[in-house]
Structure 1
Amino acid sequence: MEHKRVLITGATGFIGTHLLRLLQNENYDLALLVRHKRNAGHLLNKNVRFIEADLSQIHVAKKEIKDFDPEICVHLAWSGIPDYHSTHIAKQNLFQSIDLIDLLTAETSCRKIIACGSCSEYGKTDGECLETEPPIAHTALAWAKIAICHYLSLIAKTKSVDFIWLRLFYVYGPGQRKDGLLPTILDAFRQNEEPDIRNPSNAYDFVYVEDVANLLKLGLEKDVESGIYNVGTGRPTHILNICQMAAKLMNCSVTFPSLPQTQDDTGVCFWANIKKTVEKFGWYPKYALNDGIEAMRRVYEIV
C-alpha cells in the first residue's frame, strides 16, 4: 500500500508526541519540522525524516519541504505558550503560519491542512460554544488564531485545498507543561500541600490529549468537509472538583481549606458542543476526566 506523505509541525510538542505514537506503525511517510533534530531522536523510525528548521526560517526548509512534497500537513506548532496576550508573539505565529500555508499550497502537492485553533476564539465565559458562533478576538492569541482560520478558509476556496480547523478546549495529559493546571495540582498533592488555585469555581471543558491525538489521526484518514470542529467533551468541570478527584486518587490528606467547598455560580463556565465533530468524524472522547487524571498520576509517579 502506498504511504501518504504527511508533514507535521510541532511534532515534539505536547500534542504532537502523542500523535506520533499513534502513527508509528501506520501507512504514512512522515516529515517532522523540528528546531533541533537532537531533541527528536526518540521519534526516529524508518518512515520518518526530519527537516531541521524553525517556522520563522521556513525559507531555510523550503527545498526539503518541496522535495518531500507532502500531501497533508498537520500544523501544531505555536511559539510563546503560555503568553496569550503578547501581540508580538501573536503576529509572529500568524505570519509564520501564513508563510507555511502559502508554501504548501503553491509549491507542493498538499491538498489537506489540519490545524489547531483555540476555544479562546469564542471569547465566552459562559455557556455552550457552537462552531457557527462568530469569533471574538478578546486576546492576542484569539486574534491570531481567528486570522489563520479565515486565511485557511480563503485558501480552501481559491486553491481547492481541504482544511480542518480543530478548535481545542482545555487539553490535558502526560507531557503537559509543568505550570499547567493539572500538573500544578498533582505536584502539590505529591508534596502533601494545598494547590495554589485562584479560581476554583471556574469550570472548563477538559479533554484528554490521547483523545485529541485520535481525532487528528482520523483527520488524516477521513474525507470530511472543510471547516471548524470543536474538540472537547461537551461537559464543563469545576476546578474544585478536579482538586477533589486528584486528592482522592493520590490518597492525599490535604483538605485545601482555603478553597471554597461548593461551586460559585458567578465563575467562568463554558464548554464545547461536539455534535458536529462526533457526526463527521465518528469520534467521541474515550477518557473520562477521572481516568485521565489517573493516567497522569501514574506517569508523574514514574518521573
Structure 2
Amino acid sequence: MKVLLTGATGFIGSKLLPVLTQEKYDVYTIGRSNLDYAKHTKLDLKDNFAIENLMQSLKPDICLNLAWFVKHKIYWNSDENLDCLSLSTKLMKEFYKNNPNGIFYGFGTFYQYLHDTHIGNNLYTKSKIKTYEILKDFASLSNYKTSWGFIHNVYGKGEPSEKIISYLITKLRNKEEVFVQNPFNKFDFINVVDIANQIFYAIKNNYIGDFDICYGTSFTTQEIAYMICDILNVSKDLIKINHQSDQKFEISSKPLDIYKNINIKDRLCEMIDNL
C-alpha cells in the first residue's frame, strides 16, 4: 500500500511516520524542510507543477494531508492559512486525478465545532472549514472516497513550552503560580502519540467519513491543572483562575474504538516523566 504523507516533519506527522513504516506501508513524504528519510522529497508546496509531477509519478493509494502552518500563537490569523488551503485543494485534485479509487485523508481541528464562538473566529479555523467543505463537495461529485479527522486538543513531548500542558507542568513542578484562563470550558486533551495511532487505525480499517481524533472524555483546564498538582504532589493553591470570558462550552466527541477508556492521568504522568 503506497502512502503519501505531507507534514511528516511536523508535531503529528513525525509521530505517524514511524508507525506507518513499522507496519510495512510504503510511505513517501513531501515537505519544505529536509528530512532524514530515503523516500522524502523536499519541494515548495506552493509549486503546483512539482505537485502535479509528483502525484503523476507516485500514484499513491492513500494521501494523508497533515501539512499546515501551525507556528504557536502566530498561526491563528496568518495568511499562511490561505496557502495551506490552496495546497490542500491542489493535492486532492491531483490525487484523485491519478488514482480515483484511492482514499484522501484530510485533517481539521475541534475548533471547527466552535466556528460560531469567539474561539473559532479566526482565519485558521475558517480555512480548515473551507478545506473540509471543498473536499466533501469535490469528492461527492465523482463518488471519491474521502475521510476527515477532527483533531482535538493535542499535547505531548516536543510541544512548545508555552502550550497549556507543558506550561502547567513546568510551572507547577517549580512550585510557581499558574494562571488558568476560561477555566470552565471543556476540552478533549489527547496525547500526540495517541493521535498518530488513531490515524493509523483509521487507515488500517479503510475508514471513510468523518471521525473525531480524541479520547471521548472532556476536562476543564482547571481539572487538568489539579490532576498535575496531584501527580507532582504540590498545592492546588498555586492555581489562579482568570475569568476572561463568560462563554462556556463543552465539545461532544466520539473516539474510534481504539481509545475508549484511556486514563488521561496516566498520559499526564508519562508527559511529566518525559518533559
TM interval, short-chain normalised: 0.7 to 0.9
Q: Which of these residues, 108, 111, 122, is aligned with residue 139 of structure 1?
A: 122
1:87 Cα deviation after fit: 6.0
Runs ≥4 residues deviating over 4 A? 263-267
TM-score using structure 1 length: 0.79
1:251 Cα deviation after fit: 3.2
Alignment check: 8 A CA contact 2:180 2:239 kept: no
| Other-structure match for 1:211 | 194
Q: Which of these residues, 145, 151, 155, is aligned with residue 172 of structure 1?
A: 155
Percent of residue pairs bearing the same amino acid type:
23
Distance 2:69 2:52 in 1: 20
SS of residue paired to 1:235? coil
Corresponding position: 1:123 with 2:105:
no
SS of residue paired to 1:120? helix
Q: Which of these residues, 149, 160, 185, is aligned with residue 132 of structure 2?
A: 149
Rate the CA distance shift 1:264–1:177 in 2: closer, same or farther, 3 A: closer
1:231 Cα deviation after fit: 2.4
Q: CA RMSD in A?
A: 2.8
Distance 1:137 1:240 in 2: 21
Aligned ranges 1:35-54 → 2 under 5 Å: 35-37=32-34, 40-41=35-36, 44=37, 49-54=39-44
Q: How many residues align?
A: 273
Distance 1:175 1:110 in 2: 36
Deviations 1:196-217 (Å, cap 9, x if unpaired)?
Answer: 3333333212122222212211
Q: One-letter code of the match for 1:292?
A: R
Corresponding position: 1:288 with 2:268:
no
Deviations 1:14-53 (Å, cap 9, x if unpaired)?
Answer: 111221232232121111112222xx32xx3xxx500112
Deviations 1:111-153 (Å, cap 9, x if unpaired)?
Answer: 1011111111122689xxxxxxxxx973322221111111111
| Other-structure match for 2:237 | 255
Distance 1:90 1:34 in 2: 16
SS of residue paired to 2:85? helix
Rate the CA distance shift 1:219–1:31 in 2: closer, same or farther, 3 A: same
Rate the CA distance shift 1:10–1:264 in 2: closer, same or farther, 3 A: closer
Alignment check: 8 A CA contact 1:23 1:217 kept: yes
Alignment check: 8 A CA contact 2:68 2:81 kept: no
1:185 Cα deviation after fit: 0.9
SS of residue paired to 1:154? helix
